[in-house]
Amino acid sequence: MEYSAREIAALVNGTIEGYPDVKVNSLSKIEEGRPNTLSFMGNPKYEEFIYNTQSSVVIVNRSFQPSKPVSATLIRVDDAYQAFAKLLEAYNSKNSSQKGIEQPSYIASDASLGSEVYIGAFSYVGKGVKLGTRCKIYPGVYIGNHVELGDDCVLHPGVKIYQNCKIGNRVIIHANAVIGADGFGYTRNEDKSYTKVSQIGNVIIEDDVEIGANTTIDSATLGSTIIRKGVKLDNLIQIAHNVEIGEHTAIASLVGISGSTKIGKRCVIAGQVGITGHVEIADDITIGAQAGVTKSFTKPGINILGAPAYEADESKKIFIATRRLPELMKKIANLEAELAKLKKGE
Protein backbone atom coordinates (compact mmCIF):
# COMPACT_ATOMS: atom_id res chain seq x y z
CA MET A 1 0.00 0.00 0.00
CA GLU A 2 1.13 3.53 -0.76
CA TYR A 3 0.87 6.56 1.51
CA SER A 4 1.66 10.18 0.74
CA ALA A 5 3.71 12.42 3.01
CA ARG A 6 0.49 14.38 3.55
CA GLU A 7 -1.33 11.29 4.85
CA ILE A 8 1.58 10.30 7.11
CA ALA A 9 1.87 13.81 8.54
CA ALA A 10 -1.84 13.79 9.38
CA LEU A 11 -1.46 10.48 11.24
CA VAL A 12 1.47 11.66 13.40
CA ASN A 13 0.42 15.33 13.73
CA GLY A 14 3.51 16.45 11.81
CA THR A 15 4.55 19.42 9.67
CA ILE A 16 5.81 18.81 6.12
CA GLU A 17 8.93 20.33 4.59
CA GLY A 18 9.23 19.31 0.95
CA TYR A 19 6.72 17.56 -1.29
CA PRO A 20 3.39 16.68 0.39
CA ASP A 21 2.35 14.34 -2.43
CA VAL A 22 5.48 12.19 -2.53
CA LYS A 23 4.50 8.58 -1.88
CA VAL A 24 6.12 5.73 0.05
CA ASN A 25 5.29 2.05 0.03
CA SER A 26 7.76 0.60 2.54
CA LEU A 27 9.98 1.38 5.54
CA SER A 28 13.77 1.50 5.79
CA LYS A 29 16.52 2.52 8.19
CA ILE A 30 17.89 5.96 7.37
CA GLU A 31 21.40 4.60 6.74
CA GLU A 32 19.95 2.06 4.29
CA GLY A 33 17.30 4.30 2.77
CA ARG A 34 15.81 3.46 -0.63
CA PRO A 35 13.55 5.46 -2.94
CA ASN A 36 9.84 5.31 -2.08
CA THR A 37 10.53 4.35 1.55
CA LEU A 38 9.95 6.10 4.88
CA SER A 39 12.69 6.50 7.52
CA PHE A 40 13.10 8.38 10.78
CA MET A 41 15.91 10.14 12.61
CA GLY A 42 15.43 10.42 16.35
CA ASN A 43 19.06 10.34 17.46
CA PRO A 44 21.45 13.15 16.43
CA LYS A 45 24.30 10.67 15.91
CA TYR A 46 22.53 9.53 12.72
CA GLU A 47 22.44 13.05 11.26
CA GLU A 48 25.23 12.29 8.77
CA PHE A 49 22.95 9.82 6.97
CA ILE A 50 20.10 12.25 6.37
CA TYR A 51 22.16 14.20 3.83
CA ASN A 52 22.77 11.14 1.63
CA THR A 53 19.80 8.87 2.31
CA GLN A 54 17.71 7.74 -0.65
CA SER A 55 14.57 7.58 1.50
CA SER A 56 11.78 9.68 0.04
CA VAL A 57 10.38 10.78 3.42
CA VAL A 58 12.12 11.12 6.80
CA ILE A 59 10.45 11.83 10.14
CA VAL A 60 12.57 14.18 12.30
CA ASN A 61 12.22 16.10 15.55
CA ARG A 62 10.94 19.65 15.25
CA SER A 63 14.21 20.85 16.80
CA PHE A 64 16.36 19.38 14.01
CA GLN A 65 18.31 22.06 12.10
CA PRO A 66 20.11 20.67 9.02
CA SER A 67 23.60 21.92 8.30
CA LYS A 68 23.42 20.87 4.62
CA PRO A 69 20.66 20.53 2.02
CA VAL A 70 18.34 17.54 2.49
CA SER A 71 16.76 15.99 -0.59
CA ALA A 72 14.16 13.93 1.28
CA THR A 73 10.81 15.35 2.30
CA LEU A 74 10.85 15.95 6.06
CA ILE A 75 7.97 15.48 8.47
CA ARG A 76 8.67 17.36 11.68
CA VAL A 77 7.12 16.01 14.91
CA ASP A 78 7.57 16.49 18.65
CA ASP A 79 9.22 13.06 19.07
CA ALA A 80 10.45 11.25 15.96
CA TYR A 81 10.87 7.90 17.70
CA GLN A 82 7.35 7.89 19.14
CA ALA A 83 5.87 9.00 15.81
CA PHE A 84 7.67 6.20 13.97
CA ALA A 85 6.52 3.70 16.61
CA LYS A 86 2.95 4.83 16.00
CA LEU A 87 3.37 4.28 12.27
CA LEU A 88 4.88 0.83 12.83
CA GLU A 89 1.90 -0.11 14.98
CA ALA A 90 -0.52 1.05 12.29
CA TYR A 91 1.46 -0.86 9.64
CA ASN A 92 1.52 -3.99 11.80
CA SER A 93 -2.23 -3.78 12.44
CA LYS A 94 -2.98 -3.72 8.73
CA ASN A 95 -0.78 -6.76 8.17
CA SER A 96 -2.28 -8.84 10.99
CA SER A 97 -5.99 -8.52 10.38
CA GLN A 98 -6.89 -12.21 10.38
CA LYS A 99 -10.35 -13.22 11.51
CA GLY A 100 -12.19 -16.49 11.85
CA ILE A 101 -11.35 -19.96 13.11
CA GLU A 102 -8.88 -22.16 11.24
CA GLN A 103 -9.03 -25.94 11.26
CA PRO A 104 -7.99 -28.18 12.80
CA SER A 105 -8.49 -26.53 16.19
CA TYR A 106 -10.41 -27.43 19.35
CA ILE A 107 -12.83 -25.04 21.04
CA ALA A 108 -14.85 -26.26 24.02
CA SER A 109 -18.61 -26.02 23.56
CA ASP A 110 -19.03 -23.64 26.49
CA ALA A 111 -16.16 -21.30 25.53
CA SER A 112 -17.23 -17.71 24.93
CA LEU A 113 -15.66 -15.95 21.94
CA GLY A 114 -15.91 -12.21 21.33
CA SER A 115 -16.55 -10.73 17.90
CA GLU A 116 -13.81 -10.55 15.23
CA VAL A 117 -11.71 -13.21 16.98
CA TYR A 118 -9.00 -15.10 15.11
CA ILE A 119 -8.01 -18.63 16.22
CA GLY A 120 -5.20 -20.27 14.28
CA ALA A 121 -4.89 -23.92 13.37
CA PHE A 122 -3.89 -26.49 16.00
CA SER A 123 -4.98 -24.24 18.87
CA TYR A 124 -6.81 -25.51 21.96
CA VAL A 125 -9.43 -23.46 23.80
CA GLY A 126 -10.60 -25.17 26.98
CA LYS A 127 -13.81 -25.30 28.99
CA GLY A 128 -15.25 -22.04 30.24
CA VAL A 129 -12.70 -19.88 28.41
CA LYS A 130 -13.70 -16.28 27.70
CA LEU A 131 -12.05 -14.42 24.83
CA GLY A 132 -12.71 -10.71 24.34
CA THR A 133 -13.33 -8.95 21.05
CA ARG A 134 -10.64 -8.86 18.37
CA CYS A 135 -8.36 -11.33 20.15
CA LYS A 136 -5.81 -13.05 17.93
CA ILE A 137 -4.81 -16.57 18.87
CA TYR A 138 -2.06 -17.74 16.54
CA PRO A 139 -1.47 -21.40 15.61
CA GLY A 140 -0.42 -23.88 18.25
CA VAL A 141 -1.65 -21.93 21.29
CA TYR A 142 -3.01 -23.73 24.37
CA ILE A 143 -5.59 -21.94 26.54
CA GLY A 144 -6.56 -23.97 29.60
CA ASN A 145 -9.94 -24.25 31.28
CA HIS A 146 -11.58 -21.09 32.65
CA VAL A 147 -8.93 -18.71 31.34
CA GLU A 148 -10.20 -15.18 30.67
CA LEU A 149 -8.75 -12.77 28.08
CA GLY A 150 -9.88 -9.18 27.61
CA ASP A 151 -10.23 -7.33 24.32
CA ASP A 152 -7.50 -6.97 21.68
CA CYS A 153 -5.13 -9.57 23.13
CA VAL A 154 -2.53 -11.27 20.93
CA LEU A 155 -1.13 -14.71 21.72
CA HIS A 156 1.69 -15.64 19.35
CA PRO A 157 2.42 -19.23 18.24
CA GLY A 158 3.11 -21.77 20.95
CA VAL A 159 1.90 -19.72 23.94
CA LYS A 160 0.62 -21.86 26.81
CA ILE A 161 -1.80 -20.47 29.40
CA TYR A 162 -2.75 -22.78 32.26
CA GLN A 163 -6.20 -22.98 33.83
CA ASN A 164 -7.85 -20.12 35.74
CA CYS A 165 -5.44 -17.37 34.64
CA LYS A 166 -6.91 -13.90 34.09
CA ILE A 167 -5.56 -11.61 31.37
CA GLY A 168 -6.62 -8.01 30.76
CA ASN A 169 -7.05 -5.91 27.64
CA ARG A 170 -4.43 -5.32 24.93
CA VAL A 171 -2.01 -7.88 26.31
CA ILE A 172 0.62 -9.25 23.90
CA ILE A 173 2.31 -12.57 24.68
CA HIS A 174 5.09 -13.72 22.37
CA ALA A 175 5.95 -17.18 21.12
CA ASN A 176 6.36 -20.07 23.56
CA ALA A 177 5.78 -18.06 26.72
CA VAL A 178 4.20 -20.11 29.52
CA ILE A 179 1.73 -18.49 31.88
CA GLY A 180 0.54 -20.30 35.01
CA ALA A 181 2.85 -23.32 35.23
CA ASP A 182 3.39 -24.71 38.73
CA GLY A 183 5.55 -22.68 41.06
CA PHE A 184 8.75 -24.30 42.33
CA GLY A 185 7.23 -25.54 45.59
CA TYR A 186 8.54 -28.57 47.50
CA THR A 187 9.08 -29.70 51.08
CA ARG A 188 12.28 -31.54 51.95
CA ASN A 189 11.88 -34.83 53.78
CA GLU A 190 14.14 -36.36 56.43
CA ASP A 191 15.77 -38.57 53.82
CA LYS A 192 16.45 -35.41 51.74
CA SER A 193 13.92 -36.36 49.07
CA TYR A 194 11.26 -33.86 48.03
CA THR A 195 7.47 -33.81 48.21
CA LYS A 196 5.63 -31.53 45.81
CA VAL A 197 3.43 -28.77 47.24
CA SER A 198 0.40 -28.36 45.00
CA GLN A 199 0.18 -24.93 43.38
CA ILE A 200 -3.52 -24.05 43.31
CA GLY A 201 -3.36 -20.31 42.62
CA ASN A 202 -3.27 -18.52 39.29
CA VAL A 203 -1.66 -15.66 37.34
CA ILE A 204 -3.33 -12.28 36.85
CA ILE A 205 -2.02 -10.06 34.04
CA GLU A 206 -3.50 -6.57 33.86
CA ASP A 207 -4.03 -4.29 30.84
CA ASP A 208 -1.37 -3.26 28.31
CA VAL A 209 1.27 -5.79 29.37
CA GLU A 210 3.71 -7.25 26.84
CA ILE A 211 5.52 -10.53 27.55
CA GLY A 212 8.52 -11.69 25.53
CA ALA A 213 9.19 -15.05 23.91
CA ASN A 214 10.05 -18.00 26.18
CA THR A 215 9.27 -16.04 29.34
CA THR A 216 7.64 -18.03 32.13
CA ILE A 217 5.32 -16.73 34.85
CA ASP A 218 4.47 -19.30 37.51
CA SER A 219 1.14 -19.76 39.19
CA ALA A 220 0.81 -18.82 42.86
CA THR A 221 0.82 -21.48 45.52
CA LEU A 222 -2.26 -19.76 46.93
CA GLY A 223 -3.75 -16.52 45.62
CA SER A 224 -2.22 -14.94 42.52
CA THR A 225 1.04 -14.04 40.83
CA ILE A 226 0.26 -10.51 39.59
CA ILE A 227 1.67 -8.52 36.69
CA ARG A 228 0.26 -4.99 36.94
CA LYS A 229 -0.80 -2.80 34.03
CA GLY A 230 1.75 -1.52 31.54
CA VAL A 231 4.54 -3.91 32.55
CA LYS A 232 6.98 -4.82 29.75
CA LEU A 233 8.84 -8.13 30.00
CA ASP A 234 11.63 -9.13 27.63
CA ASN A 235 12.36 -12.65 26.34
CA LEU A 236 13.68 -15.40 28.62
CA ILE A 237 12.52 -14.14 32.02
CA GLN A 238 11.53 -16.37 34.94
CA ILE A 239 8.94 -15.02 37.39
CA ALA A 240 8.21 -17.36 40.28
CA HIS A 241 5.06 -18.02 42.31
CA ASN A 242 3.31 -15.19 44.20
CA VAL A 243 5.54 -12.48 42.73
CA GLU A 244 3.92 -9.08 42.19
CA ILE A 245 5.33 -6.61 39.64
CA GLY A 246 4.15 -3.00 39.84
CA GLU A 247 2.72 -0.84 37.07
CA HIS A 248 4.91 0.18 34.12
CA THR A 249 7.99 -1.70 35.29
CA ALA A 250 10.32 -2.86 32.48
CA ILE A 251 12.49 -5.98 32.80
CA ALA A 252 15.20 -7.05 30.34
CA SER A 253 16.05 -10.62 29.36
CA LEU A 254 17.52 -13.40 31.51
CA VAL A 255 16.17 -11.99 34.77
CA GLY A 256 15.11 -14.46 37.47
CA ILE A 257 12.73 -13.38 40.25
CA SER A 258 12.20 -15.79 43.14
CA GLY A 259 8.92 -16.47 44.92
CA SER A 260 6.84 -13.91 46.84
CA THR A 261 9.01 -10.93 45.84
CA LYS A 262 7.23 -7.59 45.44
CA ILE A 263 8.56 -5.15 42.83
CA GLY A 264 7.30 -1.57 42.75
CA LYS A 265 6.01 0.72 40.02
CA ARG A 266 8.12 2.10 37.17
CA CYS A 267 11.22 0.07 38.05
CA VAL A 268 13.83 -0.75 35.41
CA ILE A 269 15.62 -4.09 35.77
CA ALA A 270 18.52 -4.77 33.42
CA GLY A 271 19.59 -8.11 31.94
CA GLN A 272 20.74 -11.13 33.97
CA VAL A 273 19.58 -9.75 37.31
CA GLY A 274 18.80 -12.33 39.99
CA ILE A 275 16.39 -11.46 42.83
CA THR A 276 15.98 -13.72 45.84
CA GLY A 277 12.59 -14.55 47.31
CA HIS A 278 10.47 -12.65 49.84
CA VAL A 279 12.12 -9.26 49.26
CA GLU A 280 10.61 -5.88 48.41
CA ILE A 281 11.80 -3.45 45.73
CA ALA A 282 10.36 0.07 46.08
CA ASP A 283 9.01 2.25 43.25
CA ASP A 284 11.24 3.83 40.58
CA ILE A 285 14.33 1.74 41.37
CA THR A 286 16.83 0.88 38.64
CA ILE A 287 18.77 -2.39 38.99
CA GLY A 288 21.94 -2.70 36.91
CA ALA A 289 22.86 -5.70 34.76
CA GLN A 290 23.94 -8.91 36.52
CA ALA A 291 23.07 -7.55 39.96
CA GLY A 292 22.33 -10.11 42.65
CA VAL A 293 19.58 -8.75 44.91
CA THR A 294 19.56 -10.56 48.28
CA LYS A 295 17.72 -8.06 50.46
CA SER A 296 14.89 -5.53 50.28
CA PHE A 297 15.41 -1.98 49.00
CA THR A 298 12.62 0.23 50.34
CA LYS A 299 13.95 3.69 49.40
CA PRO A 300 12.27 4.77 46.12
CA GLY A 301 14.18 6.06 43.14
CA ILE A 302 17.64 4.67 43.86
CA ASN A 303 20.06 2.81 41.57
CA ILE A 304 21.32 -0.63 42.57
CA LEU A 305 24.45 -2.38 41.31
CA GLY A 306 26.62 -5.39 42.09
CA ALA A 307 26.44 -8.92 43.44
CA PRO A 308 25.46 -8.81 46.20
CA ALA A 309 23.63 -5.64 45.27
CA TYR A 310 24.13 -2.31 47.03
CA GLU A 311 23.07 1.24 46.27
CA ALA A 312 25.10 2.43 43.29
CA ASP A 313 27.42 4.82 45.15
CA GLU A 314 28.36 2.19 47.72
CA SER A 315 28.72 -0.49 45.05
CA LYS A 316 31.13 1.70 43.07
CA LYS A 317 33.28 2.26 46.18
CA ILE A 318 33.39 -1.49 46.79
CA PHE A 319 34.37 -2.09 43.16
CA ILE A 320 37.18 0.47 43.34
CA ALA A 321 38.43 -1.06 46.60
CA THR A 322 38.32 -4.54 45.07
CA ARG A 323 40.52 -3.43 42.15
CA ARG A 324 43.11 -2.20 44.66
CA LEU A 325 43.28 -5.54 46.49
CA PRO A 326 46.48 -6.77 44.73
CA GLU A 327 48.23 -3.53 45.65
CA LEU A 328 46.97 -3.70 49.25
CA MET A 329 48.02 -7.35 49.58
CA LYS A 330 51.51 -6.45 48.39
CA LYS A 331 51.70 -3.66 50.98
CA ILE A 332 50.58 -6.04 53.73
CA ALA A 333 53.21 -8.59 52.68
CA ASN A 334 55.89 -5.88 52.86
CA LEU A 335 54.68 -4.76 56.29
CA GLU A 336 54.73 -8.36 57.54
CA ALA A 337 58.30 -8.75 56.25
CA GLU A 338 59.37 -5.52 58.00
CA LEU A 339 57.65 -6.67 61.21
CA ALA A 340 59.46 -10.01 61.03
CA LYS A 341 62.83 -8.18 60.73
CA LEU A 342 62.02 -6.00 63.74
CA LYS A 343 61.15 -9.08 65.80
CA LYS A 344 64.48 -10.71 64.92
CA GLY A 345 66.33 -7.61 66.09
CA GLU A 346 64.77 -7.74 69.55
**What's the confidence (pLDDT) of residue 91?**
75
192 and 259 co-located in one domain: yes
How far is residue 148's CA from residue 166's CA, in Å, rounded to a whole number? 5
150 and 133 co-located in one domain: yes
141 and 191 co-located in one domain: yes
- Cα distance between the two ends of the chain: 95
42 and 108 co-located in one domain: no
335 and 229 co-located in one domain: no
**What's the confidence (pLDDT) of residue 22?**
96
Beta bridge partners of 16: 75
- Domain CATH for 251: 2.160.10.10
- pLDDT interval class at 142 (50, 70, 90): very high
- pLDDT interval class at 197 (50, 70, 90): very high
Domain that holds residue 73: 3-94
107 and 217 co-located in one domain: yes
Given a cut of 80, whether residue 103 has pLDDT beyond it is: yes
Q: Identify the CA nearest to 275 among candidates 308, 315, 249.
A: 308
Please give the positions annotated as active site.
241
289 and 195 co-located in one domain: yes
Strand arrangement, sheet containing 268-269? 100-101, 118-119, 136-137, 154-155, 172-173, 210-211, 232-233, 250-251, 268-269, 286-287, 303-305, 310-311
305 and 322 co-located in one domain: no
How far is residue 285's CA from residue 188's CA, in Å, rounded to a whole number? 35
Question: What φ, ψ does residue 234 adopt, rounded to 5°?
Answer: -80, -175
How far is residue 308's CA from residue 204's CA, in Å, rounded to a whole number? 30
**What's the confidence (pLDDT) of residue 88?**
83
- pLDDT interval class at 146 (50, 70, 90): very high
Domain count, the chain: 3
Given a cut of 90, whether residue 196 has pLDDT beyond it is: yes
**What's the confidence (pLDDT) of residue 328?**
86
Given a cut of 90, whether residue 317 has pLDDT beyond it is: no
- Specify whether the CB–CB gap between 190 and 228 falls below 8 A: no
81 and 113 co-located in one domain: no
